[in-house]
Amino acid sequence: MDKKDIIDAIKKARDSKKRNFKQRFDLIITIKNIDLKKPENQIELFVPLQFSKGKDVKICALVGPELAATAKESCDLAVLVDDFDKYTNKKVLRKLANEYDFFIAQATIMPKVATVFGRILGSRGKMPNPKAGCVVPPATNLRALVQRLQKLVKISVKANAAIQTVIGNEELPDEEIADNVLTVYDALLHALPAEKHNIKGAFIKLTMGNPVKIGEKETSEQKMGKKGMKKKSKEKSEDREGQKEEQKTEIGKRPRKEVESATGN
């Protein structure tokens, strides 16, 4: 994938209607020629981006007393093992699952985490995952992990032959968004059995905009359409200028008194 093509697609996506909120950029990649019914063809990756995702990532830690202090300092919420009983209510648990992006768990209490939180977090793909580094021993630098998770995206190809993930927002420079796109694309490419032959297409999309295909060249009809629109716009401008000149000429031909009456002088 060529970086210039990515930047061109980003610029086209930016041409969509402006909104009264900060839109995010998503990368969509569609997959082909792969049987996802076979478990060996299913993919789950956690990819660290080079630059910011353009959104704050909220992190909840499920820990024992060993990590209680550092979890409270580093994470948005720390739930101690002694307080797990507060989350047996499904409504409370669903609210927790919806509010946080990543969940960190202390390895020594994982059986209790699975018992209390597994059913709801698992259904949302948010169970603490060792692949993301979210299952940790009792002596762990949680601050470093939290910083890493701020730039981490999850790529999953299981039920659907496509992925969609955030790679920035409209306030970020095109170059940074493009580098994030390349990072995700390359990670997925090397995880696919036939690599580029399994990729059908890649698209850039703003939250409220239409997908723009990366690397799509303008057809001759599209180019002619743009030229036609420019020509029509030029002709309209020339018509307006011609009408103004005709009006000036017409006024100049009238008798002085008639002109003064017409212009209010």
Average confidence (pLDDT) over 212-225: 67
Q: What is the pLDDT of residue 159?
A: 87
Q: Is 169 exposed, middle or buried (0-12, 13-18, 19+ CB in 10 A)?
A: middle
In a shared domain, residues 83 and 187? yes
Range of the domain at 153: 3-213
pTM, entire model: 0.77
In a shared domain, residues 253 and 172? no
In sign, the C-alpha dihedral spanning 94, 95, 99, 100 is negative
Residue 249 has pLDDT above 60, yes or no: no
Angle between helices 110-123 and 90-99 (to 10 degrees): 80
- pLDDT digits 0-9 by tens, 19-43: 889 999 999 999 999 999 999 999 9
Residue 233 has pLDDT above 60, yes or no: no
Above pLDDT 70, what percent of the chain? 82
Residue 108 has pLDDT above 80, yes or no: yes
In a shared domain, residues 209 and 225? no
In a shared domain, residues 187 and 238? no
In a shared domain, residues 193 and 229? no
- pLDDT digits 0-9 by tens, 151-164: 999 999 988 999 99
Average confidence (pLDDT) over 234-239: 60
Question: What CATH number is given to the structural domain containing 173?
Answer: 3.30.190.20
In a shared domain, residues 81 and 98? yes
- pLDDT digits 0-9 by tens, 47-90: 999 999 988 899 999 999 999 999 999 999 999 999 999 998 99
In a shared domain, residues 60 and 153? yes
Q: How many distinct structural domains can be found in the chain?
A: 2
In a shared domain, residues 177 and 236? no
- Average pLDDT of the chain is 87
Q: What is the pLDDT of residue 225?
A: 55
In a shared domain, residues 42 and 122? yes
In a shared domain, residues 197 and 244? no
